[in-house]
Amino acid sequence: MQLLQRLYELDLLRDIDLQFARWLGQRFEASHTLLTLAAVVSQQSGEGHACLHLQQLPNLIASWPDELHSDAKQWYAQLDAALDTHQLLLGYGTEPTPLVLERNRVYLYRLWHAEKQVAEALLARAQARDAACDLPSFGAALDQLFIGATEQPDWQRVAVVTAVARRLAVISGGPGTGKTTTVTRMLAMYLQQTLSADRQARPHILLAAPTGKAAARLSESIAGAKAQLPVAEPIKQLIPEQGITLHRLLGARPRSVRYRYNRDNPLQVDLLVVDEASMIDLPLMAALLEALPEHARLVLIGDKQQLASVEAGSVLGDLCAMQSAAVPTEAMQELLCVTCGLPVTEGDTRVLADSVAFLRKSYRFAGDSGIGELASAVNRGSVKQTQAVLRRGFDDLNWIEALTADNQHLVQHMAQKYSHYLSCFKQAISPDEAHAAFAKFQLLCGLRKGVFGVDALNEAFENYLERRGLKAADNRWYEGRPVIITRNDAALQLYNGDIGITLFDTEQQQLRVYFEQGGEMRSYSTSRVPQHETVFAMTVHKSQGSEFKEITLVLTDSARVMSRELVYTGITRAKQHCNLYGKKAVMLAAVDQPTVRMSGLAERLWG
Ligand SMILES: Nc1ncnc2c1ncn2[C@@H]1O[C@H](COP(=O)(O)OP(=O)(O)OP(=O)(O)O)[C@@H](O)[C@H]1O
């Protein structure tokens, strides 16, 4: 039997991958070798890879079951010759073809095009030179913004200078390293510079994030940081506080993949701040860059160590890749030397290095914080340090050994942790109060399927609620049901990842679901809520962009899906307390397993 069919039967290809190969077969009469390659490239894009690196193919084949190895090796041996044969199916990007081969990478056309567009647009923005900064006033304004600061070097100060000086800025830092504080100071600095050149100027600043939750958090953090800014009130007033989702910003339209704002109809904005940039996939970044007017500044904030976007690409990671340890250009080094006291260093200069800044010190987690220590051990990929942190015993870190092979012990844990939230519904509660109560605790899982996956745990917890009389057996909806949207609905303005809480509306005498949208609560009747699921248990992927007072991260199942980035992202969702539930071996195996996203973007950007 042909390799393509066998891969599908063994669940190594999805329906869509097989259909794609079959459709190509009908249109192009291509060889089985090339069609199998098309299906594998399609499958890899489903795993988040922007392309398939041909050098990685032997590793991929080695991960397939033994029974396929002989056929797969034969297929691999025929690939070189097949790549030269069907130029209508596989081209080099000069004409649109279903597959594109560039260097040793094979792409689906859509992702190749998006990657090329993103690289060109980012490099053009990084190269753009605006009017030089007025150095004397620049230094004085910085001193005022960083009054009392003692860090040396002060990476927040470096990030502010970077972002004010360049049309593209990327600020990456772990939890609590002051990303929002820095961006707020940067906005004040930018406004001071702009207004000192033209008193009447009223630059249009916008704040956005990939999910509703992240946008709401950005609004809250900017408002908090703004209140502490040591600048004049008129400057503060020009800093917006309201963040919106990228889909809303770009004008997502029902049943259309095109956004309202695009190259022909650009956004009206002078400076755009986008938070949680690690969640932005290649096509979304391409659409964002296309809709941004040429003169506008783009400031991307995020944590490069977090999980990459669910869809294909690893844009923030690639932007921060710093291949061959590139250093900023001479002009930028000089500016950073004068304004921040950074030493000028020899090295391979890259224009993109002028735009990237890293924040390194966490102001949220003090030295005695287990969450901070664990996050940094996991981040470094050090199994030894991770073990040491787990042994040491911190107040904010708790290891819970899984006691049963089924999930009942974990359901008891959930019952205890959600007891405060569930008790809120004994009396009338406002939507704001309900959302605040729900944000106190979240159970996070790496997996969707299996006994310790999100689906089974939500079901088991709802069974528990039924036993407690908090949910009727025959009704999916009940007061207190938290739901998460799983598919964008532009018409209703509800997007993937938005969380709603079900409450009884005494006026309408019915259950309604309340979502926070742009700083306001909006309610929907239960029948109108687009595709959703219960969210007492949530995947770590979906939790990106959100933070909770306390979390429990479930680490029970196969280490294959657990990666270093997944564990890091999970534990850093906790602001005050982090519980780890499961088996230590799973945790340690995950720490030892970094995720590799295949992409050509880092090479295009850093050369
Ligand atoms: N230079 C600093 N000195 C003292 N405290 C600071 C400094 N920078 C930030 N903080 C404080 O640290 C906390 C976290 O800051 P901020 O919210 O800006 O970080 P963040 O990186 O945006 O966090 P998150 O991980 O939530 O996105 C805030 O309470 C802030 O006031």
**pLDDT (tens digit per residue) in 493-504:** 888 888 999 999
pLDDT at position 1 over 60: no
SS3 (DSSP) at 89: coil
Helices vs strands, H then E, count in the chain: 25, 20
Say which residue, 270 or 95, is predicted with more confidence. 270
Q: How far is the CA of 181 from the centre of ligand 1 (A)?
A: 6
Q: How far is the CA of 389 from the centre of ligand 1 (A)?
A: 24
Ligand 1 atom with least separation from CA of 173 = 21
Mutational test site, ligand 1, from 155, 160, 180, 543, max ligand atoms within 8 Å of CB: 180
Average pLDDT of 563-589?
Answer: 93
Indicate whether residue 361 lines ligand 1 (CB < 6 A).
no
The confidence band for 511, taking pLDDT boundaries of 50, 70 and 90, is very high
Lowest-confidence pick of 40-44, 332-336, 389-393, 492-496: 492-496
Which pLDDT score is estimated for 133?
Answer: 61
Which pLDDT score is estimated for 559?
Answer: 53
Q: Which H/E stretch holds residue 578?
A: strand 574-582
Give the residue numbers of the binding site for ATP.
173-180
Average pLDDT of 357-386?
Answer: 90
Indicate whether residue 482 lines ligand 1 (CB < 6 A).
no
| Interacting residues of 555 by C-beta distance below 8 A, sequence separation 6+ | 446, 562, 567, 580, 581, 582, 583, 586, 587, 590
Q: How far is the CA of 363 from the centre of ligand 1 (A)?
A: 6
Residue 229 to residues 183, 225, 352, 364: CA-CA distances in angstroms?
11, 7, 29, 18
Residue of the CA atom closest to atom 11 of ligand 1: 363
Q: How far is the CA of 180 from the centre of ligand 1 (A)?
A: 7
- Per DSSP, helices labelled H in 55-108 are 57-63, 66-83
Average pLDDT of 177-192?
Answer: 94
| Architecture, CATH, for domain 1-108 | Orthogonal Bundle (1.10)
Indicate whether residue 176 lines ligand 1 (CB < 6 A).
yes
Burial profile 432-457: b = 16 or more Cβ within 10 angstroms, e = fewer: eebbebbbbbbbbbbbeebbbbbbbb
pLDDT at position 122 over 90: yes
Q: How far apart are CA 514 and CA 212, in angstroms?
A: 13
Which pLDDT score is estimated for 155?
Answer: 93
Q: Please name the amino acid found at residue 197.
A: A
Indicate whether residue 172 lines ligand 1 (CB < 6 A).
no
Indicate whether residue 156 lines ligand 1 (CB < 6 A).
yes
- 128: which 2 tokens? 């753009």
Residue 588 to residues 112, 374, 379, 384, 567: CA-CA distances in angstroms?
36, 12, 12, 9, 10
Residue of the CA atom closest to atom 18 of ligand 1: 178
pLDDT at position 514 over 80: yes
Residue 488 to residues 247, 519, 527, 532, 541: CA-CA distances in angstroms?
9, 19, 16, 10, 16
Indicate whether residue 363 lines ligand 1 (CB < 6 A).
yes
Burial profile 565-600: b = 16 or more Cβ within 10 angstroms, e = fewer: bbbbbbbbbbbebbbbbbeeebbbbbbebeeebbbb
pLDDT at position 4 over 60: yes
Q: How far is the CA of 224 from the centre of ligand 1 (A)?
A: 10
Indicate whether residue 283 lines ligand 1 (CB < 6 A).
no
- 514: which 2 tokens? 């309340």
**DSSP string spanning 521-532?**
EEEEEGGG--SE
CATH number belonging to domain 370-592: 3.40.50.300
Ligand 1 atom with least separation from CA of 182 = 18
Say which residue, 520 or 17, is predicted with more confidence. 17
Indicate whether residue 97 lines ligand 1 (CB < 6 A).
no
Each residue of 219-251: pLDDT tens digit?
Answer: 989 999 999 999 999 999 999 999 999 999 999
Residue of the CA atom closest to atom 14 of ligand 1: 176
Indicate whether residue 545 lines ligand 1 (CB < 6 A).
no
Indicate whether residue 544 lines ligand 1 (CB < 6 A).
no
Which pLDDT score is estimated for 291?
Answer: 97
Indicate whether residue 364 lines ligand 1 (CB < 6 A).
yes
Ligand 1 atom with least separation from CA of 221 = 17
| Same fold yes or no, 1-108 and 370-592 | no
Ligand 1 atom with least separation from CA of 572 = 25
For the chain, give percent helix, strand, coil, nearest 5: 45, 15, 35
Name the CATH code of domain 133-363 (choices 3.40.50.300, 3.20.19.10, 3.40.190.10, 3.40.50.280): 3.40.50.300
Mutational test site, ligand 1, from 146, 181, 211, 551, max ligand atoms within 8 Å of CB: 181
Say which residue, 206 or 94, is predicted with more confidence. 206
Q: How far is the CA of 577 from the centre of ligand 1 (A)?
A: 18
Which residue ranges make up each domain of the chain? 1-108, 133-363, 370-592
pTM here is: 0.90
User: Measuring CA to CA, which residue among 535, 530, 495, 534 is closest to residue 516?
Assistant: 495
Average pLDDT of 90-119?
Answer: 94
The confidence band for 136, taking pLDDT boundaries of 50, 70 and 90, is low
Each residue of 323-354: pLDDT tens digit?
Answer: 667 899 998 998 899 888 888 888 888 999 99
Per-residue 3-state assignment (H helix, E strand, C coil) for 144-168: HHCCCCCCCCCHHHHHHHHHHHCCE
Which pLDDT score is estimated for 593?
Answer: 87
Q: How far apart are CA 378 and CA 342, in angstroms?
A: 29
Indicate whether residue 453 lines ligand 1 (CB < 6 A).
no
Ligand 1 atom with least separation from CA of 184 = 18
Report the chain's mean pLDDT, rounded to a whole number: 91
Each residue of 261-270: pLDDT tens digit?
Answer: 999 999 999 9
Residue of the CA atom closest to atom 9 of ligand 1: 178
Each residue of 459-502: pLDDT tens digit?
Answer: 999 999 999 999 998 889 999 999 999 988 878 888 888 899 99
pLDDT at position 357 over 90: yes
Q: How far is the CA of 176 from the centre of ligand 1 (A)?
A: 5
Q: How far is the CA of 175 from the centre of ligand 1 (A)?
A: 8
- 72: which 2 tokens? 């797969």
Ligand 1 atom with least separation from CA of 154 = 1
